[in-house]
Amino acid sequence: MEKGVGLTVTINCTLRELLCGQLGLTDEYLDQRIQTIFLNARPVDNVDQVIVRNESILALSAAMPGILGATMRKGGRYAAFRKSISQQPHESDASKQSGRITIKMFNMVAKEVGSCLLTAGVEVDGKDLYHVVRQLPEKLSDGIIKMYIDGQDIKPEMTSFKSLSKNRMFLFVTVCDRQR
């Protein structure tokens, strides 16, 4: 999640419309839990006035420690120190349409929201997926029940993931409780 995953979304909407209306976050979660937001590498203070465009890169984080965390916190008391680099509010000048964004999540936000995105499906780089899988237990079949590529059932083995490492792919993760 820290590297970013691709999502197809409706663009030319406010950040709140994207996060709450499309991704299903509650207003309370957005306002209280997500304390630091960057849109295209610029800090965001007002999620109701910033418009998400095609190919935007969005980064979300819970509260970060220290003076940097306090300075980057949305609407925080030190936001004035970064006014020249902050995302400025602007009107939408285009109709809402389908587009693509990259979303990055950090700390508790990644843990709390990431699994929902994986269940809905995200675009990932095969090299990043292979890196994550390499950190899993040696016998992948203990944790991965089924794996499909282009509709074909394949064995959940490291060689399968390695063969995908040069591709960009759409990843869905389904979690199930398996009785032993």
Q: What type of residue is 31?
A: D
112 belongs to a structural domain: no
E-strand ranges in the chain read: 5-11, 13-14, 36-39, 42-43, 51-52, 57-61, 97-105, 122-125, 147-149, 152-154, 168-171
Instruction: Name 53's Cβ contacts closer than 8 Å, sequence gap at least 6.
Output: 11, 12, 99
Q: Which of 107, 141, 165 is the C-terminal boundary of a domain?
A: 107
Q: Is the pTM above the cut of 0.75?
A: yes
As a whole number of angstroms, the distance between CA 19 and CA 11 comes to 11
Per-residue pLDDT of the chain (180 residues; tens, 9 = 90+): 889 999 999 999 999 999 999 999 999 999 999 998 999 988 898 899 899 999 999 999 987 666 555 556 666 565 555 555 555 566 666 788 999 999 999 999 999 998 888 888 899 888 888 888 787 766 555 667 677 777 778 777 777 777 777 888 888 777 665 544
**Residues 9 and 74 grouped into a single domain:** yes
113 belongs to a structural domain: no
pLDDT at res. 98: 94
pLDDT at res. 8: 95
53 belongs to a structural domain: yes
Contact present, 91 and 99 (Cβ < 8 Å)? no
Sign of the four-CA dihedral 69, 86, 88, 97: negative
**Residues 76 and 46 grouped into a single domain:** yes
pLDDT at res. 40: 93
Q: Which domain holds residue 80?
A: 1-107
Nearest to 50 by CA among 64, 61, 38: 38
115 belongs to a structural domain: no
E-strand ranges in 53-132 read: 57-61, 97-105, 122-125
Contact present, 159 and 128 (Cβ < 8 Å)? no
